[in-house]
Amino acid sequence: SRPPRATHFREDSVQAKMARGVTVKDVPAHDFIVAYAAFLKKSGKIQIPEWADLVKTAPHKELSPLDKDWYYVRAAAIARQVYLRKTAGVGGLREHFGSRKRCGVARNKHAISSGGLLRKILQQLESIDVVKTAGKGRVITKQGQQDLDRIAGTVVAATEASE
């Protein structure tokens, strides 16, 4: 008989993870994305394009994002997805970041997000050596994996300190 699975962090498991290292898979997605977006903004390596306030994130959206730092948040979410997948192409990311399209009285359908926006963010992540092109898609670099794991460690330390 196996012991039941833990659904939350226990103090001894957090300390054990800190001893062996924390990865992006060990922290909640929202907390990691917020922390990595703040890191990208503070570092100044990613520049927001001048068209960012005019663009929509998908053709089925009515408005552009309301958050002024949405570009950093999307870049952090893309970096996390490339980390979690073996290879991540623009088409797969378009599916992942898509949402429902309202079709009036007909049923809602899934619609894909904007490919050009994802491509530009991936190119900027390539320029700062977080991801690299490999075959048909992008993979995380060793430097990018270390950066993302370091940010994940700070998220775990912050949640541990707040408890």
| Kind of pairing between the strands at 99-101 and 109-111 | antiparallel
Task: Summarize pLDDT for 11-53 with one digit per residue, the tens.
Answer: 555 554 554 688 999 999 999 999 999 999 999 989 998 988 8
Global model pTM greater than 0.75: yes
**Dihedral in degrees, nearest 10, Cα atoms 26, 29, 35, 36:** 90
**Which letter, b or e, does each residue of 48-71 get, where b requires 16 or more Cβ atoms within 10 Å of its Cβ?**
eeeebeebebbebeeeebeeeebb
